[in-house]
Every structure is written in structure tokens, then in C-alpha cells.
């Protein structure tokens, strides 16, 4: 039963076998409802990034299943997986999210161009989104001309560009100071409330994690109660 959930995993396992064998995920069971804002916490090396990569269709599980929007991701070929990432998922990573040769607006245009949108329409939507994240006066700036926090906000705008049903953030507050982290996190939160998108955010700041609808805690590749 995976209908009704935005994301669901069943006995999800991931084993890395390059050199030594590392079992990063050992039977993860979780279900996230549409519109939920979920934080994922856990010690370093507990498998948080690995889990997000599975949920976002960036990597394939060793065992078990991942359902996104009711679709078993492991049944998709590379092309359909790419299409899923393009249409249903928006990623925000910890650092270096943006393509350095492109302006803030162009970076937000790229997922739309990948999905075949016209340049003019993509640029309009990019301007809208950047305005929503408070960067209307930084449209033509390159990543190196923006602060760390501004870079992350551009990345969030870009993650929303194709109106994905799920937004995934792997420590999206980056290595910013507490105040900036707070603002980025709040932005995530507000967008989730306004658009009804499902949000899954990894953070190591407990205080931020507590503000989510629900907190999933990982230890040693397994979900534990908090």
C-alpha cells in the first residue's frame, strides 16, 4: 500500500561495495504524506544523504522499494527516472548548488529548459520565484557575486521551478550563520505552507528540526523513535 503517500519506503537497503562493504541503509520503513514537512536528523554517517538520494531517484536501492507519488522508482529506466527528477522532485544541496557560468535567473530557468519550456516563459517564472525568495534585485548576478545564503535561496527557487510535488533539501541551510540558516529554513517552511508541496529536509540543528511537522531520526541506517 503506497497510495495516498507522497513518499514511502519498504525495507529499503543500500550497500556500498567499493572497497569495503558499507551497509548505509538497513531496512528503512517510512511514509510521508502529501504536504507534510518532515525533517530528517541523525549522526554523521547514519545514512541521511543516502536516503535522500534514494527518495529523489538519484541512486538505486540495493534492496526494498521506494515509492514516489505511488510509483515504484526501481521499475523506472534511466530516462523515466530523469523525467521523475525533473518534474516531481526539487533538490537543494548543502553547497555549490548553482552552475557557475549562469546568472541567478538562468540557474532557475535550467530545470524548466530541461523539461522543454520556452526561454521566455522560463525567464518569467524564474523572475517570479526569485522575487518570492527575496532576490528580485539579484537576477543577473552570478553565483560568485552572491553570498552563501543568497546562493541557497537561488537553489530553493530553482528546486521549485517545475512545481515539483516533493522538495528535498540535504542540509540546505548550508554552512551559514544561525540567523541565515534560520531564514533559509523559514523560507522552506513558508513555501511548504503556501504551495502544499511535500518537503523533506535533512538538518543537524535540532532546534530547526523541531519546527517540522514531524521528525524522522536515523541511526546506523535505521529509523529510530525520538
Partner 1 sequence: MIWRFIGTRHLVARRKQTLIAVLAVGLGIGIVLTSVALTNGFRGQLTDTTKETSPDISVTADGERIRTYQIYVSTIREVPGVTAVTPFITGNGVIRRKDADTAALVKGVEADAESEIFGFRDEMAEGSFTSIDGSTTKIVLGSGVAENIDAHVGDRVTLTTPGGGRELTVTGILHTGSFLDDRYMYLHLDTVQDMLDVGHAASGIDVGTSVEPEPVAVQIRGRTGLETETWREAAQSFAQVIETFQLFDYVFYSLILAIASAGIANVMLMTVMSKTREIGMLKSMGATDGDVMSIFLFEGAMLAAFGSVFGNVLAILLTEAIQMIEITPPEEGPAFVDVIRLNAELTVGDALFVSGFTVLLTLAFSVYPAWKAAKLPPVEALRRE
Ligand X SMILES: Nc1ncnc2c1ncn2[C@@H]1O[C@H](COP(=O)(O)OP(=O)(O)OP(=O)(O)O)[C@@H](O)[C@H]1O
CB atoms within 10 A of CB 47: 25
- 107, 98 Cβ separation under 8 angstroms: yes
- The item of ligand X, partner 1, Mg ion, none sharing an interface with residue 78, based on CB under 5 to 8 Å by kind, is partner 1
Q: Which of 35, 113, 141, 182 binds partner 1 (CB under 8 A)?
A: 113
Name the packing angle between helices 148-159 and 119-132 (round to 10°).
Answer: 130
Rule CB under 8 A: say whether 100 interacts with partner 1: yes
Q: Report the half-sphere exposure of 91 (CA within 13 A, side-chain side).
A: 20
d(CA 207, CA 111): 32
99 binds partner 1 (CB under 8 A): yes
105 binds, among ligand X, partner 1, Mg ion, none (CB under 5 to 8 A by kind): none
Distance between CA atoms of residues 109 and 82, nearest Å = 17
CB 76, min distance to ligand X, A: 21
CB of 179: closest distance to partner 1 in angstroms?
26
- Binding-site size for partner 1 (CB under 8 A) equals 30
Measured CA to CA, the distance from residue 225 to residue 182 in angstroms comes to 25
Is 115 a binding residue for partner 1 by CB under 8 A? The answer is yes
- Minimum distance, C-beta of residue 61 to ligand X, in the bound complex (Å): 13
Return the one option of Mg ion, ligand X, partner 1, none that residue 114 interacts with (CB less than 5 to 8 A, by type). partner 1
Q: Which residues in this chain contact Mg ion in the complex, by CB under 5 A?
A: 49
Amino acid at each position: 500500500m503506497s497510495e495516498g503517500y507522497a513518499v514511502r519506503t519498504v525495507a529499503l537497503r543500500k550497500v556500498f561495495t567499493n572497497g569495503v562493504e558499507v551497509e548505509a541503509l538497513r531496512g528503512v520503513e517510512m511514509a510521508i504524506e502529501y504536504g507534510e514537512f518532515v525533517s530528517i536528523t541523525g549522526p554523521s554517517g547514519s545514512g541521511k544523504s543516502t536516503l535522500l538520494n534514494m527518495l529523489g531517484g538519484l541512486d538505486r536501492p540495493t534492496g526494498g522499494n521506494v515509492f514516489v507519488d505511488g510509483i515504484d522508482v526501481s521499475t523506472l529506466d534511466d530516462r523515466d527516472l530523469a523525467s521523475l527528477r525533473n518534474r516531481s522532485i526539487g533538490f537543494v544541496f548543502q553547497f555549490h548548488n548553482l552552475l557557475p557560468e549562469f546568472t541567478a535567473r538562468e540557474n532557475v530557468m535550467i530545470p524548466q529548459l530541461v523539461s522543454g519550456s520556452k526561454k521566455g516563459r522560463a525567464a518569467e517564472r524564474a523572475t517570479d520565484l526569485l522575487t518570492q525568495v527575496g532576490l528580485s534585485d539579484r537576477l543577473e548576478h552570478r553565483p560568485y557575486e552572491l553570498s552563501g545564503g543568497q546562493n541557497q535561496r537561488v537553489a530553493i527557487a530553482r528546486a521549485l521551478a517545475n512545481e515539483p510535488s516533493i522538495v528535498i533539501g540535504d542540509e540546505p541551510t548550508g554552512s551559514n550563520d544561525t540567523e541565515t540558516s534560520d531564514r533559509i529554513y523559514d523560507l522552506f517552511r513558508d513555501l511548504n505552507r503556501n504551495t502544499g508541496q511535500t518537503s523533506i529536509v535533512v538538518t543537524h540543528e535540532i532546534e530547526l528540526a523541531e519546527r517540522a511537522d514531524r521528525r524522522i531520526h536515523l541511526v546506523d541506517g535505521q529509523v529510530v523513535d525520538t
